[in-house]
Amino acid sequence: MQIELIPAIDIIEGKCVRLTQGDYNSKKIYNENPVEIAREFADYGIRRLHIVDLDGAKSQHVVNHKVVEQIRQATDLVIDFGGGIKSDEDLRKAFGAGASMVTIGSLAVKEPATFLRWLSLFGSEHIILGADVKQGNISINGWQEEDGEQLVPFVRRYVDNGVKQVLCTDISKDGMLQGPSVDLYRQLLSTFPDLYLIASGGVSCIDDIKALDAAGVPAVVFGKAIYEGKINLSELVQI
């Protein structure tokens, strides 16, 4: 397979958790120590990790940057961090803790000038556009609000300004273990063929990842399928 495998660790109160469709009331704790999980990923040969600060997404500022620091010190994983990055100080905390990349979603909707300034300062290799989608429209603030802007125009605005990486999550699929939105990603790639598109949401098994790979999707973020035992990493990394 050509697709890049990016496991996710979602953090609430320093613990590894997963939600269903972004609902904080659906929280399920999988491990009290995210560093253990990260080490396991690294042992399987995984190179990149997606960390989501769910406390940060809810409280509108970075909260769990210390977890990033601990994982960075314990592993060689390249860390992409998102959740609650709303200010220059939040960005400093994320990069200072050891994140190589940050995913920015809500702020790109509400403060495009700030996003573009960060993109110019840090470059497209370090700033990822987060595009969280619900029924074709962009959602923000930990998926608690819908913005109303449609996906393709939103992505186009930032691709035209130099964005190279987009993490696109179909909220309706997230945590449901019912398969990813392959058609949605295929449409995005047909519109933006040079985009490094990172698919997220719905992955339930190795066949789902194979389907994304066959559709030409460059990378995939997945989490719940690992924690629920639906995907065996040792099998996946050998394909």
Structure tokens at 166: 């987009």
In 3D space, the residue among 80, 84, 115 whose CA is nearest the CA of residue 95 turns out to be: 80
Q: Give yes or no: 194 in active site.
A: no
Give the active site residue among 55, 80, 132, 170: 132
Length of the chain: 239
Contact 151, 128 (CB under 8 A): no
Backbone angles phi, psi at 18, to 5 degrees: -140, 145
Give the active site residue among 10, 53, 80, 213: 10
Q: Give yes or no: 183 in active site.
A: no
Count CB atoms within 10 A of the CB of residue 35. Answer: 17
For 137-160, b/e burial (b = at least 16 CB within 10 A) is ebbbbbbeebbebebeebbeebbe
Please list the active-site residues.
Answer: 10, 132
